[in-house]
Amino acid sequence: MILLLDTAARRMRGDQSVGQRPDCDVDVEIPVGAVVLQGHLHLPEPADSVVLFAHGSGSSRHSPRNQFVASALYRAGIGTLLLDLLTAPEELDRANVFDMDLLATRLTAATRWLRNRPDVASCRVGYFGASTGAGAALLAVVDRATHLFEEPGTLAEVAILASDWFTRYLAKEPQNPSVA
């Protein structure tokens, strides 16, 4: 735990000694059957965990809210893949937006694509979802929040809670933990 906190603190200060190589910060295309999904992959170096974002309707990988939470996760040493589970033409059909089987299939395919990358093949993978069920779950841990987290401080609280949760459950245990 002390190692994780120290690493996160150095990242927050912008310490360039964290990691051996430059990180990965690229737009990606993920082929899924007859379509190609658009995404943005941002990995710290070294990366041992990656969170895939499955956003709700009316949002995208460009959403300031998604990018805010992704930035907090990255500062905590966790890689992120922001992706659009539907193509632009598919989003025009409102039935697709609520087609949970289609969205889950796309998320699974994006996870397989991610696992085939040598730089993340051994990483733990988590999902960060928004809207409907995921939004309801976040509302139960974030007091005073509505589904867009527009209230003062609520989006920051979501980002902190997400970082804490993913750090706790996805980050590797230190090889030689220090005794506090």
Q: What does the pLDDT profile of the chain (180 residues) look like in tens digits?
A: 444 455 555 555 555 444 444 578 889 999 999 999 999 999 998 889 999 887 766 666 767 788 888 899 999 999 999 988 888 898 888 887 777 777 778 888 888 999 999 888 889 888 887 663 353 444 457 667 666 778 888 888 888 888 888 888 787 765 454 544
Query: pTM value?
Result: 0.67
Location of structure tokens 């979802």: 129
CA distance 179 to 127: 32
Could you give the count of Cα atoms lying within 13 Å of 57 in the half-sphere of its Cβ? 13
Q: Please, are residues 155 and 70 in contact by the beta-carbon 8 Å criterion?
A: no
How far is C-alpha 61 from the chain's CA centre?
10
Which CATH architecture does the domain made up of 2-12+26-170 adopt?
A: 3-Layer(aba) Sandwich (3.40)
SS3 state of residue 53: strand
What pLDDT is stored for residue 22 in this prediction? Answer: 57
Residues, the chain? 180
Report the chain's terminal Cα–Cα distance, integer Å: 9
Nearest to 52 by CA among 34, 75, 69, 35: 69
The pLDDT value given to residue 14: 55
**Where are the domains positioned within the chain?**
2-12+26-170
